[in-house]
Amino acid sequence: MNIKDKVILVTGASSGIGAAMAERLASEGAVLLLVARRWDRLLQIEESIKAAGGNACAYPADLEKGEERSKLLDAVYARFGRIDILINNAGFGWYGFGYTMEIGDSLRMIDLNVKALVHLTLAVLKRMKEAGAGHIINIGSIAGSLPFQGIAMYGATKAFVESFSMALYREMRDTNIRVSVVKPGAVKTDFFTAAASKSHAQPMPVEHSGMTPGKVAGRVVSLIKRPRKSMVIPRVFSLLPLIDMLFGWLIDLIGPGLLKMNKMHNL
């Protein structure tokens, strides 16, 4: 797909991967609709895109709330009449023993990582079907392919994203509509600080490592130009399900110990 002049809605565009994708796609000539809760951050990104000669429009919305999602879609379709590419990127994580996670945080994670993504995907897909073209890109995680200790809820939400997106890709195969899932490994963003700020959360072990959000943005641009069912970043992590198959027994054995060690280390 040619990116120039496409209307692209990016959720979670106020920081990290979402902001990097928005800036990169705007530099390719797309019209960017930026969605998140922090209005000040969205405006900064909108201004920086416009200062670089691009086109962007900020829409503040709390996507955990169904009525805000509906209002967002109404406002966007009233003004632009179409969404050519939807990137469901907003999400948050949490690390620790699952039983210590506040039930409110668990349900909020489902509201954002799953419900918001389903709501926007199905509503936009229906319009794309009428228009006869479009691309929906859902940001999953390698955590969705490897049930790991400490991220029971987060990994499960991302497993949903993967299964949902790949099934829709298959449903749309004989049309001009594509649905893709992007599965990054660790990326250096505010994700880890946001996760650690939640009740009873432990710091994530990989928080100081990882790739830049710009690297993910670059790969997403290539995914739009050459659509695929799924994209693992970096590619080597495609081997993770195989590692789980071969060494899952070892992860079962040492998993709780690793989680306890991490907890003690961070006390």
Selected from 9, 12, 23, 119, the binder of ligand NAP by CB under 6 A is 12
Residue 112 lies near ligand NAP (rule: CB under 6 A): yes
59 is catalytic: no
Q: Does 38 bind ligand NAP (CB under 6 A)?
A: yes
Q: Which of 186, 224, 231, 259 binds ligand NAP (CB under 6 A)?
A: 186
Applying CB under 6 A, which part among 14-22, 128-136, 164-172, 235-243 lies near ligand NAP?
14-22
What amino acid is encoded at 27 in this protein? Answer: S
Which is nearer to ligand NAP, 98 or 129 (by Cβ)?
98
Question: Does 36 participate in binding ligand NAP (rule CB under 6 A)?
Answer: yes
**Candidate residues 29, 37, 127, 262; the one interacting with ligand NAP per rule CB under 6 A:** 37
Spatial separation of the C-alpha atoms in residues 67 and 88, rounded to whole Å = 17
Size of the site for ligand NAP (CB under 6 A): 31
Of 211, 193, 218, the C-alpha closest to 203 is 193
Distance (Å, whole) CA 223 – CA 136? 11
- Is 32 among the residues that bind ligand NAP (CB under 6 A)? no
CB of 2 to ligand NAP, least distance (A): 25
Closer CB to ligand NAP, 40 or 130, in the complex: 40
Q: Which two tokens stand for residue 245?
A: 């198959």
Structural contact between residues 34 and 112, judged by C-beta atoms closer than 8 angstroms: no
Contact 154, 166 (CB under 8 A): no
Catalytic position from the list 77, 95, 99, 154 = 154
Enumerate binding residues for ligand NAP (CB under 6 A). Answer: 11-18, 36-38, 41, 62-64, 89-93, 112, 139, 141, 184, 186-187, 189-191, 194, 210
Point out the residues that are catalytic: 154
